[in-house]
Amino acid sequence: MTKNRKQFSAWVIGLLALSLAGCSEAEVPSATTPGDDPLVNDPTRREIILAFQNKLNIKTAGTTRADAPIATTEENEITSLDIYVFSSDKEEGPYTYQERFCYRSDGSTIPNATKIILTVEGDNVALATLRPKKGLFTKFYCIANQPKLLKAGAEYTNFVALEQSSPGADYNIVTKAGIPTETDFLTFTTPLLDPTEDTDILLTPLPMVGSYSPALDLRDISMGSRTRINMTLSRIVSRFDIINDEKLSHLTITGVSMGHGRKGVTFFPVVPVEDADPDKTLITYPDRDFDGANANKGTQTGAFYSYPSPIADKGYLIIKGKYALNQMDIPQEVSYMVEFEQSVAGTGGYIEVKPNHRYTVRITDADPFKLDVNITVSDWTDGGDFEYQPENELAIGTLTGVGATTIAGNNTATVSPDETEYFSIPFTSNSEAECSIVYT
């Protein structure tokens, strides 16, 4: 393993943050066609439309896309959607499990859950129509492409619906709490990656989450109109694109992994999982083959996916491959550490690997012992940009006077034009920086 001495361009490291789930609510007229949902005429249920404002890929006949979205088709694909409903007779709670609605792209039915379908509205919106029970305050938690949930490292399947006394009446109460409680549910995690399993890597379709948790008031059993809730699903993983031209770098990348990575995350909010044994919290991800259509020919999008990596973890990418300076040379196996840290003269800026962000690693130079890269960070959405305030402001390294150059306060350099040809100022920044020279 060769430690990478990477070069970061100070002007490129700008982060954009994506809102987890922006929601709004509106009343819409009742449906005119009942469809094949057996619950459509049940007066004890209310029709809710969840409108996902992503450019999701729902496998329906005759749908095409003319534009080129930031997220790939595979990254936008929905193969499963689980909507967990939690309710309470008091707006402030406590909330417990009421019911579950499920979509599967293969049309399968899930035991103890109500089957739903997804439809497409225009180019940007996917609709899920569900009919939860009336009588209580209700919250909705949506998890796409991750039907398996873990509690304390084991798969959780013990979902028991709550019971209420008199839906629609002023004295209606929850007579038997559901299982799990909302508080317990929010601790559930994704399946945990096993570093000893070579095939245990993150691939598309990618898990996404969204929620409507201010609580929707469904106490009035006479209310028959539909309610539409706009929601955005957010990916819980990070994406790495790698730019490498093997003809220029003389490096042919064969695999990518991550050191000091996390095994999984909770869903609401997305927080990296910590192991009961601190020594087992951080893992080295199994290698993922670098074999996409543009691998080593330019920009390979979605070359690697990981769970979020907090700054304190000191995570890093591991890029493996073969290096040969000349065509006549025998290619030699190489491995580089690409750390998410930039340090100059003891100070530096850090790149925290966050969910739903894209990290572009551009290979600028390589030799058998080191790899020079630039890393840029951006949001991972097909819509507007979001501002991000970097954690580290501009940090200037220690300035040292040489020859006729003198330094005052580490921010002023006095230079003799007769005796000095040049001098350097080391600095780091997580956002665009501008330099100017003032003559006095």
CB 283 within 8 A of CB 193: yes
- Predicted local distance difference test score (pLDDT) of residue 346: 52
pLDDT of residue 157: 96
Mean pLDDT estimate for the chain: 82
| pLDDT confidence of residue 167 | 84
The region of weakest confidence among 52-61, 94-103, 183-192, 367-376 is 52-61
Sorted by sequence, the CB contacts under 8 Å of residue 350 that are 6+ apart come out as 311, 340, 341, 342, 391, 392
Question: What digits encode the pLDDT tens for the residues 288-304?
Answer: 999 989 999 999 999 99
Contacts of 195 (CB under 8 A, 6+ apart): 283, 284, 285, 286
Is residue 371 a contact partner of residue 386, using CB atoms and an 8 Å limit? Answer: no
Q: For 146-155, 290-299, 349-358, which range has the lowest pLDDT when averaged over its residues?
A: 349-358
| Domain parsing of the chain, residue ranges | 24-29+37-234, 238-379, 392-439
What confidence tier does 59 reach under pLDDT thresholds 50, 70, 90? Answer: low
**Taking 50 as the threshold, does the pLDDT of residue 152 lie above it?**
yes
Rounded Cα–Cα distance for residues 125 and 231 (Å): 10
Lowest-pLDDT choice from 42-46, 69-73, 355-359:
69-73
Q: Is the pLDDT of residue 416 over 60?
A: yes
pLDDT of residue 378: 84
Assigned fold of 238-379: Immunoglobulin-like (2.60.40)
Spatial separation of the C-alpha atoms in residues 183 and 72, rounded to whole Å: 34
Cis omega before residue 111 (within 30°)? no
Q: How confident is the model at residue 406 (pLDDT cuts 50, 70, 90)?
A: confident
Residue 230: the pLDDT is: 93
**Residue-wise pLDDT tens digits, 114-128:** 999 999 887 778 999
Q: Over pLDDT 90: what percentage of the chain?
A: 57
SS3 of residue 279 by DSSP: helix
Residues 383 and 386: their CA atoms lie apart, in Å, by: 10
- Judge residue 271's burial from the number of C-beta atoms within 10 Å of its C-beta, 0-12 exposed, 13-18 middle, 19 or more buried: middle
pLDDT confidence band for 286 (50 / 70 / 90)? very high
Q: Per-residue confidence at 71, pLDDT binned at 50, 70, 90?
A: low
